[in-house]
Amino acid sequence: MKLHEIIIKPQSGFGTPLKGDTLFGHFCWQAQHDPSLLNGGLDRWIAAYEERPFAVFASAWPKLSVGRERFYALKRPDLPMPRLFPGLERDRRKRMTERKEKGNQKWLLVGEDLRIVLRTADYKSETELALMAFNELTEEAKMAMRGRDKRRLMAPFSQPHNTINRQTQTTGGGIFSPYAMPSMYFYPEMELAVFVLIDEEATDVARVIAAMERIGKCGFGRDASTGLGRFDLAEDDEKTLPDAGEADACYTLAPAVPEKGAFHDQYFSPFTRFGRHGDALATSSAPFKNPVIMADEGAVLIPAARSVFEKPYLGRAVCNLSNTDARTVAQGYAPYLPFKLEI
């Protein structure tokens, strides 16, 4: 499989986070409607998905510039604080203050070579990342940001909704009461990198980009029909994963379901996907899928054998999710970055 980076530029708010498993689901619906996106059609590759994934999507990560250098802002690895910051102060009061400061540094800057080196890792807080993004804005965008919250890369907002009672032509009580749903906006001119592993026997990057363009025009995730989830595509590039020669750990770039027995130690934040069918099945008699507990992106998994590094992805497919369509699968796979776990 080959690794490709696709840059997307948000053009609206989003009701659904841009996680790898959801991006995979949107691509599958595109392939369902356009069989030319996959050689042999979607059914052929879904049937073989448990043994051979045809595409593995990472979650979307901010891509920022500092002068001429470009960095990816990844989630801080889900390792215990003493492992990430072993040199904390011995004085109790100073140690608590430093621990609080370090706790706010929830982002890890990684260069375009995608190498993670823990002893020299550059951790940033949300405020520091937002300042980096602000410094790279055009003058017009900086003017527009005056008086606005500049401390967050992703600003939450409430999207109002209502249902009209067709008898009274107004909202009202009960099911017709107005309500709001949480959504988010990205920083102006923000670029997000989506890494995709592609099996070139199944498809190629040009067809994946074509599907992504359609998703961006139609809208991604919840409330796409109201204008959320719109994005444009920028450049794409083939990437090379770091050499795994000295690596002894894996950093996941998307939510995953690790294989049983493949890892002797795991550090992750649990993430439960309460999935719902999309497209035509969203209005079926059983629109909801069975929930799946996953290791969220940023997990650190320590392989039990070197054979794990022979593949550019880890995890497994998740089947038997739907009472509506037996072919339904979830992406329990995730691209990962190999690195050396320094203690």
pLDDT value for 198: 96
Q: Work out how many domains the chain is built from and give that number.
A: 1
pLDDT, tens digit (0-9, with 9 covering 90-100), for 156-209: 888 888 888 888 888 888 888 888 888 899 988 899 999 999 999 999 999 999
Contact 160, 178 (CB under 8 A): yes
55 burial via Cβ count (<10 Å: 0-12, 13-18, 19+): buried
pLDDT value for 152: 82
State which amino acid sits at residue 298.
G
Q: Which among 174, 197, 210 has a CA at the least distance from the CA of 253? A: 197
Positive or negative CA dihedral for 302, 306, 308, 311? positive
- DSSP strand pairing (55-66 vs 191-198): antiparallel
pLDDT, tens digit (0-9, with 9 covering 90-100), for 264-299: 999 999 999 998 887 777 777 788 888 999 999 999
Domain that holds residue 235: 2-339
Q: Which residues contact 318 (CB under 8 A, 6 or more apart)?
A: 257, 292, 329, 330, 331, 332
CA dihedral 269, 249, 331, 311 (to 10 degrees): 180
d(CA 343, CA 337): 18
Q: Averaged over 24-40, what is the pLDDT?
A: 94
- CB half-sphere exposure, 43, CA atoms < 13 A: 3
What pTM, to 2 d.p., does this model score?
0.91
d(CA 305, CA 85): 27
Q: Averaged over 136-156, what is the pLDDT?
A: 81
Output the six-digit token pair for 100.
């609080």
The residue count of the chain comes to 343
- Name the residue with higher pLDDT: 316 or 146: 316
Output the six-digit token pair for 143.
């003017």
Radius of gyration of the chain (CA): 21
Answer yes or no: is pLDDT of 88 > 70: no
d(CA 119, CA 334): 25
Positive or negative CA dihedral for 280, 282, 283, 289? positive
Please identify which residue in the block is written with the tokens 């649990």. 270
Q: How confident is the model at residue 59 (pLDDT cuts 50, 70, 90)?
A: very high
